[in-house]
Amino acid sequence: MKASWDTQVYCLIGDPVAYTLSPVMHNTAFKKLGINGLYLAFRVPTGKLREAVEGMKALGFKGFNVTIPHKVEIIRFLDGLDRLAARIGAVNTVKNDGGRLIGYNTDGEGALRALEEAGVSPKGKNVVVLGAGGASRAICFTIAKLARKLVIANRTEDKALKLAERLRAELGVNVEVCRLLEEELAPMLAEAEILINATSVGMYPEVENSPVSSALLRRDLTVFDIVYKPLKTRLLREAELKGAKTVDGLAMLVHQAARAFEIWTGVTPPVEEMRKAALKEVRQG
């Protein structure tokens, strides 16, 4: 559709944004649904966030996504937060609701849908999540109430302890913590049914790193790696060799985008078309 004065404008703000897959996913959805919308990406360095938000508000942008390094900082500039985003303490999606900017976090829902799409539900399961950063917080707050038991393993134990404390206090759930060390992870993984890597270990360019020794992987463990660059991380390759079910980070990326699209437009986007467009871009890049 040809852009005009009444085109609904959306965007991503972050730094860097050069390799983002968000524009291709959202623009594909707009085109497929015949919506007069346009999604762009803007590099907004630290220190320029307030001006960027004021500019988007003044120009009537309908919504935007937020990525590193602004996911926490953005909260100061918003008019309201949805409950899950407030609990997580980070925002990746903002909706302009008649001039009021409301923050959401769709990462956890994206992860949950990625698992469910693969035929795996965390409901009643024993789940180990690696990492205690922003993505882990979003995932833990989304799945903690569904899981039978949740274990958070992190390199910096203190961060995992703080996250576990907040999950217990706010959701009243059963959470254990350990360090990202083979001897501490081994007994936790022996009982686990789902392993989620929410650390950045294995991400480009350090593609030969894995957060878990392959000796701890088994056929009856579902292994979900949220890293999407590369699509097949070393962790997923080793899990596949053991015959385990694997889920890659692109599935989460597509579903967190789909959830943001729903929040903005109230319309369910064509997830398969968005995935194909993102995959094409990944393979070309």
Which residue numbers are catalytic? 71
| Choice from 28, 96, 106, 154 touching ligand NAP (CB under 6 A) | 154
Burial of 37 (0-12, 13-18, 19+ CB in 10 A): buried
**Footprint (CB under 6 A) of ligand NAP, residues 220-249:** 226-228, 249
Minimum gap (Å) between residue 100 Cβ and ligand NAP: 26
CB of 176 to ligand NAP, least distance (A): 16
Q: According to the binding rule CB under 6 A, does residue 252 interact with ligand NAP?
A: yes
Query: What are φ and ψ of residue 262, in 5° steps?
Result: -65, -45
Cβ distance 226 to 249 under 8 Å?
Answer: yes
CB of 135 to ligand NAP, least distance (A): 3
The residue assigned the tokens 């989460």 is: 252
* Neighbour count for residue 47 (Cβ, 10 Å): 7
Q: Interface residues for ligand NAP in 6-25 (CB under 6 A)?
A: none
By CB under 6 A, is residue 155 in contact with ligand NAP? yes
Return all residues near 7 (Cβ < 8 A) that are at least 6 apart.
1, 36, 37, 38
Q: Which of 256, 258, 261, 277 binds ligand NAP (CB under 6 A)?
A: 256
Contacts of 135 (CB under 8 A, 6+ apart): 107, 111, 198, 226
At residue 261, φ and ψ (nearest 5 deg) are -60, -40
How far does CA 101 lie from the centroid of its chain? 21
Nearer residue to ligand NAP within complex by CB, 8 or 200: 200
126 has which bridge partners? 149
Q: Does 81 bind ligand NAP (CB under 6 A)?
A: no
Q: What string marks each residue from 84 to 123 as x (binds ligand NAP by CB under 6 A) or -?
A: -----------------------x--x-------------
Query: Which of the ranges 4-12, 187-195, 196-204, 261-269 carries the binding residues for ligand NAP, by CB under 6 A?
Result: 196-204
Binding residues for ligand NAP, rule: CB under 6 A, are 107, 110, 131-136, 154-156, 159, 180, 198-201, 203, 226-228, 249, 252-253, 256
